[in-house]
Structure 1
């Protein structure tokens, strides 16, 4: 309602709670004027992170979870070489820098600044489209050479503006220690999160070694050696009829049609990372169907 939305904060709070959400990030275009309008959210049991969708001339970027009252300027483009300054301002205000819909086709929407200043990237924006498939593929291509702090987490957002947009479709599920701004942002920054089409979808994704070393989404499994067997397990609820897929640094590794769980074995020597996709049946084979869920990777290290 403070940029191009058509709902009041009270209405959005009610819709978010009905969608099963515990938190949202408010990100009006190029303004922070809505930050003071969310006083009723806590009483309704909803955590509201304040932010902004910084709509530059060569791409949109989300300032996620910034201090209330923070404004990030938008009046520049990639060739001006000014973005690093504003990315630092987002982090200084406690937030995350998240390029939005990086392959969108609308004028000025596609991301042209590179990902050197990003803390995460949006790979799923609203209803799944070819743009999202491109965003997912380009994000996956960054993972093979990524290590440590520079592994870029993937996020999903409903980008709710007005009907028929669906708030919470999709959503980012954060494996946080508690429901607080600090814990949510820490979980997002670490990639301890997965994307889901709704709150009905639940994903459990782990990797373990015979001696009990364990890692979950966004974590690194430290195995005793490069040839140590690693067992990867995926189980999903709320996505009946979907196929389960595992994707590694070498591409798709396993696909199981219409399943609720799978188990797969590998070693750190063969696999640098593994991530999971839960896909609906494809209406146009051999192209994949739209996802019900996508995870951030588990890294395997000897």
Structure 2
């Protein structure tokens, strides 16, 4: 074992990679081996690098590792020190991942895995890899261990990285088996899904098998894989899908300026996350998501965790995650912001952004399907579910126990459902009707661009119908909410369910 020290970061070491600033450290070199031979029986080699990252470090720090021929497995572990910090000051947090000999270029092919701060070690070889990392041959060339100093204490962030090379025959890489893009379904129907969750392939505590079982138990028809900054889980669902469960593949792209769910991308698609709003690169990657068959869904836009607040705007969004996990004040803020956007869209004539809800479940007691998005789709396929979400033909419910039916009808026999438009004369009476089941102790409200204009209490059973009449002259759109009783006097109660709007057009 040998050690390489790394000194203070100098200004000349900083580079701009086309997005966020990055730092490249000194190269770690191992004894070279002759191509095509000489590796059998060769002992493992380990090298250790220590250093300290100062406050204000770049978003990404790359440690080049020269990998010789004949390597069967590359293994990396790391540690870093926490500091004693004043109250209100962020302590040290350091993420990790790796890129292979194809380089660290933004959006390039060199990505081989990311575990963020969820793991302290990983390995890669042809036939296997740590969850979060992509199995495949360890080819000769310059690899880069990627460090992400998420937060740095005022005293700096001391770190240690250990790289081990194991030599031998490379082995073979099994062909991946990906989930099909269609399940049997029920034809045109309402399908329930949860499109934001995490397994052991990023920072979750559940296996894919456990998630699939919980999804079925929650009454879901579809789910979407959404691991942080890695596509490694796409191949991990073999044998877990079926006629009753569609499994779509995606990613949660976790930038320093907000998170976005790539929903239903082609299996194997990786989307880069190494940029901020100031880098003006999000539009490029949003288009890349759509080019790969996915849709773009900003996640928990007002979450209070470091780096979670959404700073990219909603111009590229196909839908927005208004409700994330157990209903909290940041969800209420997002709901009101989304409602404001409906008014702005109606006024400008621009397209509106539909809402959805997901669990963001990581581990017990996080509840898969809490909440869930209920989508009207032509069948249970990736394309049909995405089309329903993009059209806003959906509502969000806290569980499969809650069902809604929402329509708006006019005085001439015309009617419209969730996400549709109703044509009506300015003074023509229009009637909103909401049927609810599974919401005991809850109230119903009809919301327009003027706010909440009608509220009524459901029967004790939680099953009932509410109707309300207005005109296009008085309301630009109508949407429905079902809420629990208020927890804090004077504030609205937590959501039980809510719908996308019906717009009233001339």
Q: Give the corresponding residue for 1:245.
A: 445
**How many residues were matched structurally?**
301
1:145 counterpart SS class:
helix
CA RMSD of aligned residues (A): 1.1
Residue 144 of structure 1: SS of its match in structure 2?
Answer: helix
Choose between structure 1 and 2: higher strand proportion.
2
1:258 Cα shift? 3.1
Answer yes or no: is 1:258 the counterpart of 2:458. yes
Whole-Å separation in 2 of the counterparts to 1:154 and 1:125: 11
Match of 1:141 in 2: 340
Match of 1:286 in 2: 490
Task: Say which SS state the counterpart of residue 233 (structure 1) adopts.
Answer: strand
Structure 2 residue ranges without an equivalent (≥5): 1-199
Of the three residues 432, 436, 446, the one matched with 1:232 is 432
Larger gyration radius, structure 1 or structure 2: 2
> Which residue of the other structure, out of 289, 296, 302, is the alignment partner of 1:97?
296
Could you report, residue by residue, the CA deviation over 1:116-144 in whole angstroms, capped at 9, with x for unpaired residues?
A: 11111111100010010000011101001
Q: Is 1:115–2:314 an aligned residue pair?
A: yes
Question: How does 1:27-176 map onto structure 2 within 5 Å?
Answer: 27-43=226-242, 45-147=244-346, 150-176=351-377
Distance 2:411 2:421 in 1: 16
How far apart in 1 are the matches of 2:498 and 2:360? 17
Structure 1 residue 301 corresponds to structure 2 residue 479: no
Q: Secondary structure at the match of 1:85?
A: helix
Please give the alpha-carbon distance, in whole angstroms, between the structure 1 residues aligned to 2:487 and 2:212: 34
Residues 13, 44 of structure 1: 8 Å contact kept: no
How far 1:44 moved relative to its partner? 6.3
Q: Which residue of 2 aligns with 1:188?
A: 389
1:199 has 2:400 as partner: yes
Correspondence 1:19-30 to 2 at 5 A:
19-30=218-229
Give the deviation of 1:38 after TM superposition: 1.5
**Stretch moving more, 141-150 or 209-218:** 141-150
SS class of match (2:344): coil
Specify the SS of the correspondent of 1:175: strand
Runs of 5+ unmatched residues, structure 1: none
Quick one: which of 215, 225, 240 aligns to 2:416?
A: 215
Shift of 1:210: 2.4
> Given the two structures, how large is their TM-score scaled by the length of structure 1?
0.97
Asked if 1:267 is matched to 2:449, the reply is no
* Residue 178 of structure 1, CA deviation: 1.3
Q: CA deviation at 1:12?
A: 0.7
Quote how far apart the aligned CAs of 1:104 are: 0.5
**Cα drift, residue 297 of structure 1:** 0.4
Identify which range, 82-91 or 34-43, moves more after superposition.
Answer: 34-43
**Worse-superposed segment, 263-272 or 53-62:** 263-272
Deviations 1:190-249 (A, max 9, x none): 0000000000000010001122111011111122x2221111101100001100001101
Shift of 1:160: 1.2
Between the aligned partners of 1:141 and 1:209, the Cα distance in structure 2 is: 25
Instruction: Report which of the two has the higher share of helix.
Output: 1
Give the alignment's TM-score, normalised by structure 2.
0.58
